[in-house]
Amino acid sequence: MMRSLRLLFLLTVWVLPCAIAGTPIVVERMRPGIAAGMGVEYLNPRDVVDMINGGFRPEERLPDFHAGVNFFVAGFVPLSSDWLLKIEYAYLLNTYNIAALLGPGEFTMKVHMPTLYIHYMLVDEGLYNLSAGLGVGYHFGALSTGYGTLVDTYTASGPGGVLELQGNTAMSEDLFVHLGVQARWEGIGELRNSADKAPGVNAQGKPPSLSWFSVGARIGMSYYF
């Protein structure tokens, strides 16, 4: 699947400008802009998965990796001809549905991820660009549980880091298609409710955290000023 995503990314970044080459578009390089869109993220919140598999005994064990959806909006400004500063807000939604002894259950992760990136421009040809970046931020998450009499919300916060490859390809002088791939590490801490209680325990018998590793791909639109 990742090979298909990379192929789609390269085809869009390199082929689309050729397809629209018949319509002259003059595009300046390294301009400030904004971007927004959504993506799919494959993540492994190991403590949450271990807690559900061990504490609620679903009929089918949850897999280590699971697909969540990621929505994002970002703004970026050039620092030089090679470097770009980007600030982003992303929202992750990831839900597990289980069937167990007491009936169906639902466990939903919601995570707010403001992140500051520094990007290095690998290619900037006006009609398309490609950059690689590193981002860090302090993130806030919640796990909502709904199973039997256990209906509650548990929250946590902690640092997160992202490696990112992103590209933009022109549809007009100012409007671009935005594509990206990411690898993300989250160090969000132990989950607690308003009474300072944990939802269960992880495989080590400790309160579960909301930490995870993930890889994902995203698509959206960007506008340059």
The per-residue pLDDT for 13 is 46
Q: Where are the beta strands (DSSP E) in 59-149?
A: 66-78, 83-100, 103-124, 128-147
Q: What predicted TM-score, i.e. pTM, was given to this entire model?
A: 0.86
Q: Does 2-224 carry CATH code 2.40.160.20?
A: yes
Distances (CA, A) of 206 to 6, 51, 190: 39, 10, 9
C-alpha 197, offset from chain centre: 28
The tokens 């590490």 sit on which residue?
185
Phi and psi, residue 178, nearest 5°: -110, 130
The tokens 């298609």 sit on which residue?
177
Average the pLDDT over each of 132-141, 145-154, 155-164, 190-199 and give the range with the smallest value. 145-154
pLDDT tier, 126 (very low <50, low <70, confident <90, very high otherwise): confident
Average the pLDDT over each of 2-6, 51-55, 201-205 and give the range with the smallest value. 2-6
Mean pLDDT of the chain: 90
**pLDDT digits over 201-213, tens only?**
988 889 999 999 9
